[in-house]
Structure 1
Amino acid sequence: MTKEHKGQRVGYIRVSSVDQNTERQLEGITVDRMFEDKASGKDTNRPQLQAALEYVRKDDTLVVHSMDRLARNTEDLLRTVRELKAKGVAVEFIKPPLRFAAGTDSPMDDMMMTMLGGFAQFERAMIRERQQEGIEAAKKRGVYKGRKPALTPEQVAELRKRAAAGEQKTALAKEYGISRETLYQQIKAD
């Protein structure tokens, strides 16, 4: 005899970088299981989102802080919510408070989601545009220096020596607090 599934509240959190705080996204919201990604919204590689989407079952509710935390763009949002609803899973957003229930096919819900998803996508584009304008203005004033290098020249020299001696690159990257991609770039740099 199998136990009947009563439906879980499954949380999904995404922050854009490793040092961002995830606590405020679902603060005070009770969930049975939580999935968390640290990846840019434009990044298609969000393993914990994929795990959450595979984990949820009929009668579950996927709880997300806001639409922009779930999807990269409006098309992605609509597809994801549509697929979840078809699977019998409801989707609940905290900001603004919206719930898209499984088994319902409301034109009003679709319109609201499309409009709000479009606004979120537009807002992200405007933020990127203002950021780029600020960088350009700072460059003209001579005050923009770009991102601080991940490693000092001494660390790069030591890293190259240790890598050439055959030390494991994954372990070196972890020790220096850099990605493997950054490690390989530093090793190959002239």
Structure 2
Amino acid sequence: MALLGYARVSTSHQKLTHQISELKNTGVREDRIFTDMMTGATDEREGLQRLLARAEKDDVILCTKMDRLGRNTADMIRVVDGCYKKGIAIRFLENGLSTEGTMGKMVIQILAAVAEAERERILERTNDGRIAALAAGVKFGRKNHPRTPVALTLILQGEALSRVTEKTGISRATYFRLKRKIKNDAKNAPLSQ
């Protein structure tokens, strides 16, 4: 029997340190901790795949929380069921739940379904908020450089890249984006009679 650990964060801006520390404190050796830095909405994660390939009958996989293993119910159930069939238990440190035994597996599947339903509600609320903001006139995306109007004027006057960037402080990329905008606007402008 080996204790194996799995830790995951959704983005590279987040840290795995706390989860790894928690897994070590429960007795998982560092060389038996598998990690991923990507969304849990899919089980196509390198660290998870290596963990599942390494795990054998009577091993125990420890995760700090359920949502670290996965957020999608179907994938989560597939992972839990696959481990259960191989005789591999999964334990979640946060709430003490385990897939050991028939009752444990059922509880995990129910909680995974609840976690996915909550995730869908969050996505719905986020989308509703975005729609309301758009209706209220909120603009999404990158803001224009404060010197964009001056830069546009200079470009229209035929000033060179070096003069425009020197006078306005815009980047080369912004200069070329503005030139493309001018060209596209001219191409799409209605012909005067």
Q: For residue 84 of structure 1, what is the aligned residue in structure 2?
A: 83
In the alignment, the residues of structure 2 paired with residue 136 and residue 153 of structure 1 have an alpha-carbon distance, to the nearest angstrom, of 32
Q: For residue 138 of structure 1, what is the aligned residue in structure 2?
A: 133
Partner secondary structure for residue 124 of structure 1: helix
Percent identity for Structure 1 against Structure 2: 35
Unaligned stretches of 5+ in structure 2?
144-169, 177-193
Partner secondary structure for residue 28 of structure 1: helix
Q: For residue 164 of structure 2, what is the aligned residue in structure 1?
A: none
Q: Cα–Cα, structure 1 residues 41 and 144, in superposed 2: closer, same or farther, change >3 Å?
A: farther
Give the greater-gyration-radius structure (CA). Answer: 2
Aligned ranges 1:52-71 → 2 under 5 Å: 52-71=51-70
Mapped contact 1:41–1:68 kept (Cα < 8 A): yes
Mapped contact 1:135–1:144 kept (Cα < 8 A): no
In the alignment, the residues of structure 2 paired with residue 39 and residue 87 of structure 1 have an alpha-carbon distance, to the nearest angstrom, of 26
The alpha carbon displacement at 1:26 in A equals 4.7
Q: Cα–Cα, structure 1 residues 34 and 143, in superposed 2: closer, same or farther, change >3 Å?
A: same
Q: For residue 40 of structure 1, what is the aligned residue in structure 2?
A: 39
RMSD: 2.6
Q: Cα–Cα, structure 1 residues 133 and 23, in superposed 2: closer, same or farther, change >3 Å?
A: farther
Q: For residue 127 of structure 1, what is the aligned residue in structure 2?
A: 122
In the alignment, the residues of structure 1 paired with residue 71 and residue 133 of structure 2 have an alpha-carbon distance, to the nearest angstrom, of 29
Q: For residue 15 of structure 1, what is the aligned residue in structure 2?
A: 9
Q: For residue 51 of structure 1, what is the aligned residue in structure 2?
A: 50
The alpha carbon displacement at 1:40 in A equals 1.4
Partner secondary structure for residue 17 of structure 2: coil
Matched to 1:35, the amino acid is F
* Greater percentage in helix: 2
User: Aligned pair count?
Assistant: 145
Q: For residue 152 of structure 2, what is the aligned residue in structure 1?
A: none
In the alignment, the residues of structure 1 paired with residue 112 and residue 79 of structure 2 have an alpha-carbon distance, to the nearest angstrom, of 12
Partner secondary structure for residue 29 of structure 1: helix
Mapped contact 1:26–1:64 kept (Cα < 8 A): no
Mapped contact 2:59–2:88 kept (Cα < 8 A): yes
The alpha carbon displacement at 1:37 in A equals 0.8
Say which of 19, 23, 28 aligns to 1:25: 19
Matched to 1:137, the amino acid is A
Mapped contact 1:67–1:77 kept (Cα < 8 A): no
TM-score, scaled relative to structure 2 = 0.64
Mapped contact 1:91–1:100 kept (Cα < 8 A): yes
TM-score, scaled relative to structure 1 = 0.65
In the alignment, the residues of structure 2 paired with residue 43 and residue 129 of structure 1 have an alpha-carbon distance, to the nearest angstrom, of 19
In the alignment, the residues of structure 2 paired with residue 125 and residue 75 of structure 1 have an alpha-carbon distance, to the nearest angstrom, of 14
After superposition, the C-alpha distances for 1:103-159 in whole angstroms (9 at most, x for unaligned) are: x4x1x32331222111100111111112212222222333342368xxx9635999x
Unaligned stretches of 5+ in structure 1?
1-6, 159-190
Q: For residue 3 of structure 1, what is the aligned residue in structure 2?
A: none
In the alignment, the residues of structure 1 paired with residue 126 and residue 6 of structure 2 have an alpha-carbon distance, to the nearest angstrom, of 27
Mapped contact 2:20–2:33 kept (Cα < 8 A): no
Q: Cα–Cα, structure 1 residues 94 and 157, in superposed 2: closer, same or farther, change >3 Å?
A: farther
The alpha carbon displacement at 1:69 in A equals 1.9
